[in-house]
């Protein structure tokens, strides 16, 4: 990532990597989308104390711990696109089952099965 | 970790590494402590798809996302004892602030400051 | 609201204002629906220390903070029918994103877009 | 339940009683399903300090308190199959409304209506 | 409980049984205390579809599932005063550990040890 | 607020109004404190679609709904300093009791009593 890039450029590039870009029909209003791209993805995620892979893993972890299935759909796909293996995500969910409860884990496995079918692992 | 060790031995060794062993005056009743040592630390944590460092990081992440300060005290210390840097934990908390909210992050920074003062980093 | 009205009458009138009345096929059993009308809408909401608009705004806020999308559908519509502007709700969601996390905010924006399309604001 | 049965056999028998067996197309990966059957249903649930009926009631209660609708579908049916009456579940939801909030209760009533229609009570 | 008693009388009697009466220095303002006595303890808890013991057990369960330690102090004592055994509460916490996570369970065991020491069981 | 002020200046001024300035011994690390001042208080709170009073009220509401007592201490004081009456906060807590449960409300009343004693209202 070039040092001189703006937060907006960095944020857009990261969203491109994670999920192929911002969907044209996003539910976010323009001001919140701008904050999300420039501040969240373009600044917070760019802090080099944690690399993208680890940020993806902890984001997925928080989403499982909080039981937010809609956002797991985005970030499980993002994890795959950053090169995290399906087995790591699966092991994380089993681990978090003990810290945030079985119901959150079972729901997360349901999302994982839907957005990242097992057969895709080899070619992923 | 020797392959032939029992879950109990593996669990006790891990707790020893994380926090110096089970406190003699634990609040857990014997049956739950046994499940915690043998099942949680002796089996779940031992699954090699994720190493101890990453399990520690995701455990700390879940505890921040859920706002569980009492248990953060144990696992932030455990993270330090596994060689995770204070900056990684600090960066994780700043990141999770955006996924689980400022209040959980501020409380986690309070715990971090108490159990892992900044000056300890160099010698940690 | 006439002073001499019963809690039931006050509650029914408020539900009428908020969402056009209790749906005939409500999921609530009769005893709980009675408590909801007489106690929650007919007594709690009628306490004049906070007016209906502010009660609607804090109810929507709590629903966003807790990530309860199903009930947001009811109360976002109720907010519109009480004269709260779509921009106020949108600003509230962006604000709460920082206190309860992005995932709850993004889901709330999804609900808002579904139950209160932007083009309706002018005529709302 | 015969004393000499394995946790796996006990766990499978309990799941059979609750929901008629493990669905062939379960979302859980094999290792987590094994832990669920042997550890959760085959060991934790078998602890005789609380009988199955009370374990079912507290499980349903926790799921309502945490707002986990997907898992309520399984355990409300399980409660019915263990002989808990629909009125007990309905009274529990009304009670928990006051401890975990109306939104979780209303959503739980929605699930209850879907998986356990009222007319089934007599013959249930 | 005499049929003709008012909700207020029923509520006060129940609070007397649970925790020996309302503390003179309650944190609740008068209007909320009135709602708590008349509506929550005097009406909701009095619904005979679930007896006091089961209402106490599910209340304790919800408080563990939600990690509300301050209120566990009140209701664990209330459970003891209603004749629920310490072992039942302990078994409930171990059970809920799997549905709401280890952190909530460990904190609940800490409260239990503080407000209901083990040696009290025999004479309790 | 002068239009040409920086987010940092606006954020510092708001924190000054709310709680008399940033405590010298803040638990937040410098980078997170900077984000809090410039982004949260200096940008998000400054969005004029909702005024400071309403932002304070919804912030307090979210903190009650999520049961975050440590941060309620800050924002209840902030509400007082913005001119919100103690009765409005008290009414909000009673209202939210029904949406997020009694335990969160009782804990919030405890905080309110500690940081904003009743006798202070007249002179507040």
CA distance C86 to C102: 19
Please give the residue of chain B at the shortest CA–CA distance from C103: B99
**E3: pLDDT strictly greater than 70:** no
CA distance A22 to A12: 8
Neighbouring C-alpha atoms within 13 Å toward the C-beta of A22 = 19
CATH architecture of B51-124: Up-down Bundle (1.20)
> Mutate which of E55, E69, E70 to test chain F, going by most F C-beta atoms within 10 A?
E70
* CA neighbor of D48 nearest in space, from D13, D83, D1, D81: D1
Q: Does E66 touch chain F (CB under 8 A)?
A: yes
For residue range E42-75, list pLDDT tens digits in order: 999 999 999 999 999 999 999 999 999 999 999 9
Q: Which of B28, B40, B68 sits opposite E109 (nearest CB)?
A: B28
For residue range F38-50, list pLDDT tens digits in order: 999 999 999 999 9
| Whether B88 contacts B32, CB under 8 Å | no
Q: Does F50 touch chain A (CB under 8 A)?
A: no
What are the angstrom distances between the C-alpha of C32 and each of D98, D104, E60? 11, 13, 22
User: What own/partner pairs with CB < 8 Å and gap ≥ 24 does D33-38 have?
Assistant: D35/A94, D35/B44, D36/A102, D36/D11, D37/D7, D37/D8, D37/D11, D37/D12, D38/D6, D38/D7, D38/D8, D38/D11
Q: Residue written as tokens 């460990």?
A: E106
Q: Which of C54, C59, C99 sits opposite F99 (nearest CB)?
A: C59
pLDDT of residue B24: 84
Please give the residue of chain A at the shortest CA–CA distance from D32: A94
For residue range C37-90, list pLDDT tens digits in order: 999 999 999 999 999 999 999 999 999 999 999 999 999 999 999 999 999 999
Q: Does A106 touch chain E (CB under 8 A)?
A: no
CA distance D89 to chain B (A): 28
For residue range B112-122, list pLDDT tens digits in order: 999 999 865 54
Q: How confident is the model at residue E120 (pLDDT cuts 50, 70, 90)?
A: low
Q: Does E49 touch chain A (CB under 8 A)?
A: no
Set of chain A residues whose Cβ sits within 8 Å of the Cβ of D36: 102
For residue range A45-97, list pLDDT tens digits in order: 999 999 999 999 999 999 999 999 999 999 999 999 999 999 999 999 999 99
Q: How confident is the model at residue C123 (pLDDT cuts 50, 70, 90)?
A: very low
CA distance C69 to C90: 15
Q: Tell me what the pLDDT averaged over chain E comes to.
A: 93
The count of residues in chain B is 124
For residue range A9-53, list pLDDT tens digits in order: 999 999 999 999 988 888 999 999 999 999 999 999 999 999 999
Q: Do A94 and D68 touch (CB under 8 A)?
A: no
How is chain A split into domains, by residue range?
1-19+28-49, 51-118
pLDDT of residue A105: 98
**F24: pLDDT strictly greater than 90:** no
Q: Which of D31, D39, D47 sits opposite B39 (nearest CB)?
A: D39
Please give the residue of chain B at the shortest CA–CA distance from D43: B35
Please give the residue of chain B at the shortest CA–CA distance from A75: B99
> Mutate which of C30, C34, C39 to test chain E, going by most E C-beta atoms within 10 A?
C39
pLDDT of residue A3: 63
Q: How confident is the model at residue F124 (pLDDT cuts 50, 70, 90)?
A: very low
pLDDT of residue D23: 86
Q: What are phi and psi of B82, to 5 degrees?
A: -95, 0
Q: Does E115 touch chain B (CB under 8 A)?
A: no
**F89: pLDDT strictly greater than 80:** yes
> Mutate which of C18, C22, C25, C27 to test chain D, going by most D C-beta atoms within 10 A?
C27
Set of chain A residues whose Cβ sits within 8 Å of the Cβ of C86: none
Tell me the average pLDDT across B63-68.
98
Provide the 8-state DSSP code for F35: H
CA distance E121 to F9: 60
Q: Do B95 and A61 touch (CB under 8 A)?
A: no
For residue range C89-101, list pLDDT tens digits in order: 999 999 999 999 9
**Residue pairs between chains A and B whose CB atoms are closer than 8 Å:** 80
CA distance F77 to F17: 10
Q: Do F71 and B103 touch (CB under 8 A)?
A: yes
For residue range B70-102, list pLDDT tens digits in order: 999 999 999 999 999 999 999 999 999 999 999
Tell me the average pLDDT across E79-99.
98
Q: Does A44 touch chain D (CB under 8 A)?
A: no
Q: Do F106 and E66 touch (CB under 8 A)?
A: no
Q: Which of C31, C39, C47 sits opposite E39 (nearest CB)?
A: C39
Helix (H, G, I), strand (E, B) or coil at A5: coil
- Return the beta strands (E) in A11-108 as ranges: none
Domain F51-118 is found in CATH 1.20.1290.10: yes
Tell me the average pLDDT across B61-65.
98
| Whether F105 contacts F97, CB under 8 Å | yes
CA distance D49 to chain E (A): 6
CA B42 to chain centre: 14
pLDDT of residue F120: 58
* CA neighbor of E94 nearest in space, from B38, B29, A7: B29
Q: Which of E29, E35, E68 sits opposite F109 (nearest CB)?
A: E29
Q: Does E39 touch chain C (CB under 8 A)?
A: yes
Domain covering E50-118 in this structure, CATH number: 1.20.1290.10
Distance between first and last Cα of chain D: 24
Task: Give domain D50-124's CATH superfamily.
Answer: AhpD-like (1.20.1290.10)
CA distance F69 to chain B (A): 9
CB atoms within 10 A of CB D85: 13
Neighbouring C-alpha atoms within 13 Å toward the C-beta of E117 = 4
- For Cα atoms B112, B118, B123, give the angle at the middle one, nearest 5 degrees: 115
Measured torsion, CA atoms of residues A34, A36, A41, A43, in degrees rounded to the nearest 10: 70
Residues (pLDDT < 50) of chain D are 1, 122-124
* CA neighbor of F107 nearest in space, from E32, C45, E20: E32
Q: Do C107 and A68 touch (CB under 8 A)?
A: yes
Q: Does C74 touch chain F (CB under 8 A)?
A: no
Cα radius of gyration (chain A): 15
Q: Do B32 and E93 touch (CB under 8 A)?
A: yes
Q: Does F39 touch chain A (CB under 8 A)?
A: yes
Q: Do B109 and F27 touch (CB under 8 A)?
A: yes
CA distance A65 to chain E (A): 9
Q: How confident is the model at residue F2 (pLDDT cuts 50, 70, 90)?
A: low
CA distance F118 to B53: 49
pLDDT of residue A120: 59
CA distance D56 to D62: 10
What are the angstrom distances between the C-alpha of F66 and each of B86, D101, F21, F71? 28, 11, 25, 11
**Residue pairs between chains C and E whose CB atoms are closer than 8 Å:** 4
CA distance A118 to A87: 9
Copy the structure tokens of residue B113: 């400051």
**F68: pLDDT strictly greater than 80:** yes
Set of chain C residues whose Cβ sits within 8 Å of the Cβ of F59: 95, 99
| Whether E115 contacts E71, CB under 8 Å | no
Which chains are adjacent to chain E, needing at least 3 Cβ pairs under 8 Å?
A, B, C, D, F
pTM of the model: 0.95
**E118: pLDDT strictly greater than 90:** no
For residue range D34-45, list pLDDT tens digits in order: 999 999 999 999
pLDDT of residue D118: 85
pLDDT of residue D122: 42
pLDDT of residue B124: 40
């Amino acid at each position: 990532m070039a040092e001189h890039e703006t937060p907006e450029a960095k944020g857009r590039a990261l969203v491109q990597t994670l999920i192929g870009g911002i969907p044209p029909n996003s539910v976010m209003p323009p001001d919140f989308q701008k904050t999300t791209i420039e501040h969240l993805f373009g600044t917070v995620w760019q802090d080099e104390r944690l690399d993208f892979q680890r940020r993806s893993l902890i984001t997925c972890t928080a989403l499982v711990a909080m039981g937010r299935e809609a956002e797991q759909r985005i970030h499980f796909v993002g994890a795959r696109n950053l090169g995290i293996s399906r087995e790591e995500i699966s092991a994380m969910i089993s681990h978090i089952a003990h810290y945030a409860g079985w119901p959150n884990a079972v729901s997360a496995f349901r999302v994982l099965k839907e957005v990242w079918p097992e057969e895709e692992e080899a070619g992923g």
